[in-house]
Structure 1
Amino acid sequence: MSKKDHEKESIEPASETPKKAYKETLHNLQIELVKLQRHFIRCDDKILIIFEGRDAAGKDGTIKRIVQHLSPRETRVVALGKPSDRDHTSWYFQRYVAYLPVAQELVLFNRSWYNRAGVERVMGFCTDAEYEEFMGSVSEFEHMLVRSGIKLLKYYLDISKPEQKQRLNERKRDPLTQWKVSTLDNQALKMWKQYSLARDEMLAHTHNPIAPWSIVRADDKHLARLNLIKDLLSRLHYDDKDERLIIPDPQIVFPYDVSNLENGQLAK
């Protein structure tokens, strides 16, 4: 085997998880999530998890499994719609601040202020000046959140172009998921390269030791869900943690690094 072939093999994700094993592991991880919730309620923790990624990358499904058995009083999922006229005239981060976690809360952002670095940038929904202002201020904004006591985790779910195409087509055919269909779906494929460039710029400029990005290779939905949950559990403190269960596969979830752009770990 050549060195190139060996390197390619080394970054291939693990094989698909059998359905029975997936359900069993997910159940056990959800028990760990309940342990986590008991802990952050008792300790007045504030936890914020940001989910970003291409359309159909699996954000909805992952979030659903995380919150499925958690108390809704202390768990909130935030998925904001299009900005209003008022939002357009306010400080960009203002509409998000109202949804930040307070003590004893876990908040999951299904897309976030990073819309400005993604869809708004690619589709021309913001000006170059607005984009540059965002890129220049977002890290300081997040550092303020962390200094205030918020535990911030940021995940980017990455999928390949063929996988995105397949999922978008399935979304159109399935009557239970047609509510997800948007006019931007076709643009996601047509402007694949532009979205890739926007992703690369966003990750490179907003990854830092205080608010780092984690990449999730999400072509396999089951593996992505399990390993993302394992990763977040491994990074948060709570009592009676099952350390053996929560070790993520480093081929599926890993810290962002500029080398990811060159070694095939991010879809081009």
Structure 2
Amino acid sequence: MRLSNRTDNDSAKMATAKGVVQGYTGVATVDAAHQIVVDAQAHGTGSEQELLLPVIDASSAQRRPDTAICADAGYHSEKNLAGLERRNVPAWVCDNGYRQRDPRYAEQARHKAKPDALWDKSEKAKDARTARKNMRYANTDFTEAEDRSHCLCPAGKRLYRNGGECTINGYAATKYTGAARDCVPCDQRSRCLRTPDTTKVRQVAFFRGKRGDAESHTERMKRRIDSTEGKRMIAARFATVEPVFGNLRHNKRLARFTLRGRTKVDGQWKLYCLVHNIEKLGHHGYAN
């Protein structure tokens, strides 16, 4: 159910890092070559998932058949991935667990544990961060090799494949087991094993989907994202779209929408994106 208020029925309640706010979501499609916004829309919804396919359709005139689409985890859903496949759009849409599988983010937990200088400094928030830091490593913290011969633990050690494909609760899976020479002396045993005093090595299972069922779009996308090319594409997305939002929010001072009603807010969002584009064109010499 979409919640609104009496003065702006087009807006919606949204959960953010700074609590629940009443407002709109501004989305933009950005060209990777020049950081030009090719499509911009504002919607009164807290869910980005429902906005991906409308944005894809709206930007079809600016795309070639081989133009790749990169989107963050907020747009990831089985329905969206199926819609992209029906439209024959090459896409890279990361899921919520891709950072846990990517060794480049192996030390992100230590940054999350730091106090936030700009926001919540309460004891409750500090306790939550400490609890996250002390959580046992999940399967998503391990990185599976593309050839499924082994996986890497958060400490960078190999866990080796334990036989062939197996079935666990009806799901196809691949199991890996750590070596005693790596696990026994490891200083992260308390975070890795439920009972480090009695268990020697860690075992991990990666699930593929239910036996007999066709592989899901999500599983196929995970393999694409975890590949070398996928990691390059996701990194390119950061460098493409985030500077645009930084320019609009910081340099152009669009910290919040100042109008009411979706039509007006959508117009305000498009106006700021247009100013961004004019600035880009000016810097590239088109003003001359």
TM-score normalised by structure 2 residue count: 0.27
Query: Which structure is richer in relative contact order (CA contacts within 8 A, separation 6 or more)?
Result: 1
* Structure with the higher strand share, 1 or 2: 2
* Structure with the higher helix share, 1 or 2: 1
TM-score normalised by structure 1 residue count: 0.29
